[in-house]
Structure 1
Amino acid sequence: MHASAPRAVPEYALQAIRKLIEDEGYRPGDALPSQRDLAERLGVSRTSLREALSSLSALGLVSVQAGKGVFVQAPVAQSSAHAGFAWPFAAQVSAADTFQLRFALEGFACGLAAVTLTAEELDALQDNVEQMRLALRAGDFDSASRLDFDFHRRILHASGNQAMLGIVSSSADIFLESQKLPFIRPERALETWQEHRKILKALGRHAAGPAQKAMQQHIRAAALRTGIAFATLGD
């Protein structure tokens, strides 16, 4: 069933479960079929199913209770983070593929930047993080998303890898759009700022491994806030 799906299997499973909840009229508190039954019904592995359920739990759509089952937590219409957005670059590349590329490219670049970052570049990133805090406090999500893009661009520049910077610069509209998406959930917008602070802390310690990990965790979390799951080699 999933073999012909162009998206990553966990994302396919995530969307299929959302559709199941909506089509079959599940309400908050209702139990979904067992994970074994869900995996067989969707034609996915238990590993992919668990990742999809973890993503849906992070989105607030389901509650996974050990030993009890999976329960609907909120109606799809209310909890859907991306029901109302249209990805304008669908003819070129999917939003999931964009986040997946960013996970790989920007995670590696952040690790490099932790080693090569200058004091001036670190100061600029600190200023950016403070400006985002003020923008979010004012509810200016457009400015916050542009500051988000600038934060990531500065890290790419600090990495010293001109090829990676060139990829982002040549597709700036696509990358910027992916950084706007998480802000469609205002109640969780502050999480972006908090994740940037964690990245900044690792960069300030010149810790390559933690910096790379913090960036990858941030990009994956940003995708989940949008309702998107994507596969990585560690899945």
Structure 2
Amino acid sequence: MPRIKKIRLCDSVIEAVKEMIAEEGFKPGDKFYSENELTKQLGVSRSSIREAVKILETTGFVSVRQGKGIFITDRQGLRFEEFTGWLKNNEQAIRDNFEVRMILESKVARYAAAKADTDDIRRLQEAHTAFIKYARENDTERAIVCDGRFHRRLAAATKNETLHVLMKAITTKLPTGWISSLYTPGRMEKTINEHSDIVAAVKKGDAAGAENAMMRHLLNAVHDISCHIEAEQVKPEEGAG
């Protein structure tokens, strides 16, 4: 595990912990590393670890049990009805998120295709392969982590640090776009195909193709979310009378 740069520390720690959970096979209910262990592994202060853990607890990734430690939360265990209700209550925020992503990520894909080197392509393919693995296992939580990694690595391939920082901010500060789209029925399998199109275009150096593939990916995702919300809204009417 690489040591964390002391820049944007809390966000870096949160991202690192999410990747540790996904990559090291932690399951719901498992005890996670202690604050002292995380301090040593990530090379940051204990106060930074505590701040990150507090945010991760608030967002439902971990739970802290007094005197016992940090435990992985069973976010997969949320009832589908609760998730659907969350979608309805946050529909506008989700749309806003995707509008930002369409503006930004279509160009990210274009520049990545134009500038990616062999190492960038290898790292992008690794993230895509990991996503496929967890999607096929129906492990949504780990798929979400890998999806965020895929988009960050695409941004890194642009060789533009500002774009990379913006993508890191979106995937760590605004996770609702990823969570909502990947929990929508059928979306993970579609994402596999859409990511494959993006990777193929980047490998070929096809800037226009990569931009179009990313735009299709995001438009399809927000369309599927909207259709799911509309389908849930008409259910009571179908059962009325």
Q: 1:136 to 1:172 in 2, by over 3 A?
A: closer
Q: 1:185 to 1:88 in 2, by over 3 A?
A: closer
1:106 aligns with 2:72: no
Give the length in aligned residue pairs: 147
Question: Partner of 1:160 in structure 2?
Answer: 159
Question: Conserved in 1, the CA contact under 8 Å of 2:187 and 2:221?
Answer: no
Structure 1: 5+ residue runs without aligned partners? 1-79, 229-235
Cα offset, 1:101, TM superposition: 0.9
Question: Partner of 1:84 in structure 2?
Answer: 85
Cα offset, 1:86, TM superposition: 4.6
User: What TM-score comes out, normalization by structure 2 length?
Assistant: 0.55
CA distance in 2, matches of 1:200, 1:215: 10
Q: Could you give the per-residue CA deviations for residues 82-121 of structure 1, whole angstroms, max 9, x where no partner exists? A: 742258989xx82111101111111001100101101111
Cα offset, 1:129, TM superposition: 1.5
Question: Partner of 2:142 in structure 1?
Answer: 143
Aligned 1:1-235 pairs, distance under 5 A? 83-86=84-87, 94-227=93-226
CA distance in 1, matches of 2:172, 2:88: 12
CA distance in 1, matches of 2:181, 2:89: 15
The AA in structure 2 aligned to 1:181 is S
Q: Could you give the per-residue CA deviations for residues 122-178 of structure 1, whole angstroms, max 9, x where no partner exists? A: 111112211111101111011111111111111111112222222232343344321
Name the structure with the higher helix share. 2
Question: Conserved in 1, the CA contact under 8 Å of 2:124 and 2:150?
Answer: yes
Identity %: 23
Question: Conserved in 1, the CA contact under 8 Å of 2:125 and 2:199?
Answer: yes
Q: 1:132 to 1:118 in 2, by over 3 A?
A: same
CA distance in 2, matches of 1:196, 1:106: 13
Q: 1:171 to 1:209 in 2, by over 3 A?
A: closer
Q: Could you give the per-residue CA deviations for residues 201-226 of structure 1, whole angstroms, max 9, x where no partner exists? A: 00010000000110111011111122
CA distance in 1, matches of 2:172, 2:155: 16
CA distance in 2, matches of 1:86, 1:139: 20
Question: Conserved in 2, the CA contact under 8 Å of 1:109 and 1:161?
Answer: no
Cα offset, 1:180, TM superposition: 1.4
Question: Conserved in 2, the CA contact under 8 Å of 1:114 and 1:207?
Answer: yes
| Larger deviation, residues 219-228 vs 200-209 | 219-228
Question: Conserved in 1, the CA contact under 8 Å of 2:197 and 2:213?
Answer: yes
CA distance in 1, matches of 2:88, 2:169: 18
The AA in structure 1 aligned to 2:106 is G
CA distance in 1, matches of 2:89, 2:174: 12
Task: Compute the RMSD of aligned alpha carbons.
Answer: 2.6
